Structure 1
């Protein structure tokens, strides 16, 4: 996943579900190509925070994006002309399902493996967008500091800055998404376009919140994967905001973590009324639901007994504009939920 640790099961994931309402959102977010405040020859320099670190950027002309969330953010700002290519591990969803499929088709697929320094250098990239401990990694020798020494600019997703060494930054997941779009807008000189996109997302978010069911929020468990121990979402990743804004309560919202392992005992004790299944290829939703219905640890959970399962698409669960698609769908689901 874009902003998850390398050993995360979601890093080996790929989405299967169709985009649904994302196609309509694309019309709002992408529009025509944005006008960047350079003529393609003149350099434009601006200082923008990379996590908590002020960094001077020159307008990128040959950007490389790692995973769907990174590319979606750039494409939503109308920046396809400034994107050279993308890296999309095979476990990720097909780009043909993206609301920005036409933009993906215009740029190069550089690799179906993990991001690495050699690939970036070979691409002659001048800008790399990825998350910390996913695309960027000390273990694999590709970090912003290493790229700085190579004079290759980089940008980290704010959602992944929670444990970035020396410059941690913590924001609520949707605030982090807005921040990324605003910062990218400044880097590329499309601040007005970024403001319009962010305002559109916020308007959609408020619309869902205004219709959230009244009363005690239903407890919700996000099930990513895992049989011995479940992998779930803490309060530092988008599903936590999706659940809360839609009118639910993430049973692990008290964990100051991103994607993390917990014990089945804590799931059982919380008695979730809804289970969100994060849907991706080699562990599709159907198999996860089947496991939960058969396992003695989970088959008596209120959500499982009532068949209260909601499927969240991969790119609606990682940091990117499609988070709001997931919010709208889950909000609709909760409004129809019988308790």
Structure 2
């Protein structure tokens, strides 16, 4: 799948379906270099949890990030000089459109394939940042345990740890984001910078919470993909928090999973008032909306009948600092609805 060819049409759709009045705050657009603490440069180590397991880290100098969520977490902490490169599968939107475009340009693009052990070894990486089953994978033979054996450090998104074998860790997706920034701050010796970033992100989340209208949450269905069965967001991924904090209710909030397939019958029974379209890959968001409008099972859904579609950018839906951008935009969208 390739992303660049679909971006112009998606922008037109987004103008029609989503409120884009709020731009990323300065913490996301200014990737200034952070001052590394002396203890981090003196050859010592720091012990930081990795999915519930206490791990000793050396200061990384050649970090490799898988997908934009991983790279963004490093860039927002001002760690571009410690990043060797990134792996970006084609489902991701172009990095040139990222608020961290200059940081991406300053490091090496390593591959548009999935993460693998050979790529990491060839890059002489000393840290790999990815998620469990979204980067790291038993099936593909690249796991933290395998990398430990090769002397390569690894960091996993806390949001992805709830079913990590042997060392699960369960937090809400937004708390996982804040935890990751704090832990990366400790690993790289930039705790003060991490505290500043987390404080600003938390402040923006609180501002959204303070402006949520009273009343029962609007039922929301996130449509990722699929025709025979839809792929959607369970309660272990950022869109669940985006929907909840913005004043909505994920109709699959009881699904204890990250991304999961469900039955169309369940979607119909929930009668969602809003559909979030997760925008990625080579299928334009308009095609997903056209499918929902024409598919017999969904054509009479309240959201479809009333043309209530919100397009969520891929990198606002996976764990990373842009989650808060997505939250602010969706909260604006819900406030503007006449429900």
Deviation of 1:40 (Å): 8.5
Residue 283 of structure 2 is matched in structure 1 by: 283
The farther-off stretch of 207-216 and 191-200 is 207-216
Q: Does 1:133 align with 2:145?
A: no
Deviation of the 1:90 alpha carbon? 2.1
Alpha-carbon separation, structure 2, partners of 1:195 and 1:29: 17
Tell me if structure 1 keeps the 8 A contact 2:28–2:99.
no
Q: Aligned with 1:36: secondary structure? A: coil
Partner of 1:236: 236
Does residue 327 of structure 2 align to residue 334 of structure 1? no
Shift in Å at residue 284 of structure 1? 1.6
Deviation at 1:276, TM superposition (A): 0.4
CA–CA distance in structure 2, aligned partners of residues 90 and 67 of structure 1: 10
User: TM-score, normalised on structure 2?
Assistant: 0.93
Query: Deviation of residue 38 (structure 1)?
Result: 4.3
Between 51-60 and 12-21, the greater mean CA deviation after superposition: 12-21
How far 1:239 sits from its partner (Å)? 0.3
1:58-80, Cα deviation, whole Å (9 max, x unpaired): 01011000000000000000000
In structure 1, the partner of 2:304 is 304
For 1:242 and 1:304, how far apart are their aligned partners in 2?
21
Q: Kindly state the Cα deviation for residue 215 of structure 1 after the two structures are TM-superposed.
A: 1.1
Give the Cα separation in 2 of the matches to 1:14 and 1:212: 33
Aligned-pair CA distance for 1:139? 1.0
CA distance in structure 2 between the partners assigned to 1:327 and 1:148 by the alignment: 36
Where does the alignment leave 5 or more consecutive residues of structure 1 unmatched?
1-11
Quick one: distance in 2 between partners of 1:169 and 1:264?
31
CA contact (8 A) 1:29 1:77 kept: no
Which residues in structure 2 correspond to 1:157-168 (within 5 Å)? 157-168=157-168
Q: Deviations over 1:199-233 (max 9, x none)?
A: 00000001111111211211000000011101000
- Verify: 1:67 aligned to 2:67, yes or no: yes
User: Aligned partners of 1:54, 1:96: CA distance in 2, in Å?
Assistant: 36
Structure 1 segment 175-194 matched on structure 2, within 5 A? 175-194=175-194
Aligned pairs for 1:219-298 (under 5 A) are: 219-298=219-298
Q: Show CA shifts across 1:83-130 (max 9, x none).
A: 000011122211101101000000000111111111111111100000
Does the 8 Å CA contact 1:147/1:154 hold for their aligned counterparts? yes
Matches within 5 A, 1:203-222: 203-222=203-222
- 1:9: which partner in 2? none
Aligned residues: 328
Worse overlay, 27-36 or 285-294: 27-36
Assess, with a 3 A threshold, how the Cα gap between structure 1 residues 22 and 136 changes in structure 2: closer, same or farther. Answer: farther
* 1:79 maps onto 2:79 in alignment: yes
Is the contact made by 2:3 and 2:281 (CA closer than 8 Å) also made in structure 1? Answer: yes
Matched residue SS, 1:162? coil
Q: Secondary structure at the match of 1:56?
A: strand
RMSD (Å) for aligned C-alpha atoms = 1.8
Name the TM-score, length of structure 1 as normaliser.
Answer: 0.93
Distance in 2 (alpha carbons) for counterparts of 1:105 and 1:71: 12
User: Quick one: distance in 2 between partners of 1:188 and 1:83?
Assistant: 11
Q: Is the 8 A contact 1:234 1:240 kept in 2?
A: yes
| CA distance in structure 1 between the aligned counterparts of 2:2 and 2:173, rounded to whole angstroms | 21
SS in 2 for 1:232: strand
- Unaligned 5+ residue runs, structure 2? 15-19
What is the DSSP-based 3-state SS (H/G/I as helix, E as strand, rest coil) of the residue aligned with 1:54?
Answer: strand
Alignment of 1:114-153 (within 5 A): 114-153=114-153
Which string of whole-angstrom CA distances, capped at 9 and with x for unpartnered residues, describes residues 150-185 of structure 1?
Answer: 110000000110110100111000000000000000
Task: Answer yes or no: is the 8 Å Cα contact 2:29–2:100 preserved in 1.
Answer: no
Conserved 8 A contact 2:27-2:76? no
Q: 1:22 to 1:137 in 2, by over 3 A?
A: farther
Distance 1:170 1:284, change over 3 A: same
Q: Secondary structure at the match of 1:236?
A: coil
Whether the aligned pair in 1 keeps the contact of 2:235 and 2:254 (CA below 8 Å) is yes
Q: Secondary structure of 1:129's partner?
A: strand
